Amino acid sequence: MGKIEKYQLVLMAAILALGIVWAAKSATANLRTEGISVTGSAYEIVQSDSARFEFSITTRQPNRITAYNLVQKQIPQVVEYLKNKGFTDDDIQIKTSNGYNTYRYNANGTSTNEIAYYNLNQPIVVKSNDVEKIKEVAVDIQNFISKGIEINAMEPEYFYSKLSDVKVKLLQDATTDAQQRADAMLKATRNKTGNIQSVRMGVFQITPVDSTSVSDMGINDTSTIEKKVTAVANVTFKIK
């Protein structure tokens, strides 16, 4: 009786071992049929090589003519300041001015048709490949307030002209990273990556260097001189 039980245990162990082997082969076969999908990424730090800064001379005067005449006297002062900073006529663009009336209110808070004053806004745009000079002016130009010239400044924008070249390189690097990750995952199964079955590129994230923000629509940061360009690639490999 003991010999029979021992025989049954040996038989059950053999069946179990065969099942494990079959399951492993089946899993490997499925892997080879379906392939392996891995997401790879790559990034590069770039320095902006051009910049744009827009600001406006603003004033509030009793009427439109007075506002216009005042701004026309202030524009040459601002342009002279920009030229002293090294900008040329080609770098400076005086845009079309815009304005609106502000009306008086009566005692019960209702607006009347009587004009209280006229608001005039004169936009000026400065462009340059010297990004540090743009950065300096964007901070310094507020000092015009001490000369009686009201300035409303926007944040300067910084751009990188060779972004398309960087994107091509990063897509290659992201695909290589995906293959390295896939190889590491398959190492335990004694398999290797084969040919690429499909590649899906994600959107680019152009962010400040220390930012961890991501967006499904992609990010295109223009607020910093130094930028981090990140590419993502989802790659499916055959398994061999």
User: What CATH number does the domain containing 153 carry?
Assistant: 3.30.70.2970
**Judgement on whether residues 152 and 224 belong to the same structural domain of the protein:** no
How many C-beta atoms lie closer than 10 Å to residue 69's C-beta?
A: 12
- Whole-structure pTM over 0.85, yes or no? no
User: End-to-end distance of the chain based on CA atoms, in angstroms?
Assistant: 49
Mean pLDDT along residues 197-214: 93
Mean pLDDT along residues 46-60: 98
Cα distance between residue 136 and residue 224, in whole Å: 13
Give residue 29's pLDDT.
Answer: 46
In terms of residue numbers, what domain contains 100?
50-159
Cα distance between residue 67 and residue 120, in whole Å: 6
Cα distance between residue 232 and residue 204, in whole Å: 7
Domain boundary, last residue among 159, 194, 227:
159
Q: Which of 134, 145, 163, 182 is nearest to 57 (CA)?
A: 145
**Judgement on whether residues 185 and 101 belong to the same structural domain of the protein:** no
CB-based burial of residue 119 (10 Å sphere; 0-12 exposed, 13-18 middle, 19+ buried)? middle
Report the largest interatomic distance among the alpha carbons of the chain, rounded to a whole angstrom.
Answer: 118
Beta bridge partners of 166: none
Helix (H, G, I), strand (E, B) or coil at 69: helix
Give residue 11's pLDDT.
Answer: 42
Least confident of 54-63, 69-78, 102-111, 152-161: 102-111
Per-residue pLDDT reduced to its tens digit, 1-46: 544 554 444 444 444 444 444 444 444 445 555 689 999 999 999 9
**Judgement on whether residues 233 and 198 belong to the same structural domain of the protein:** yes
Cα distance between residue 190 and residue 212, in whole Å: 35
Task: Report yes or no: 192 and 170 within 8 Å, Cβ to Cβ.
Answer: no
Q: Which of 38, 24, 20, 44 is nearest to 180 (CA)?
A: 38
**Judgement on whether residues 93 and 132 belong to the same structural domain of the protein:** yes
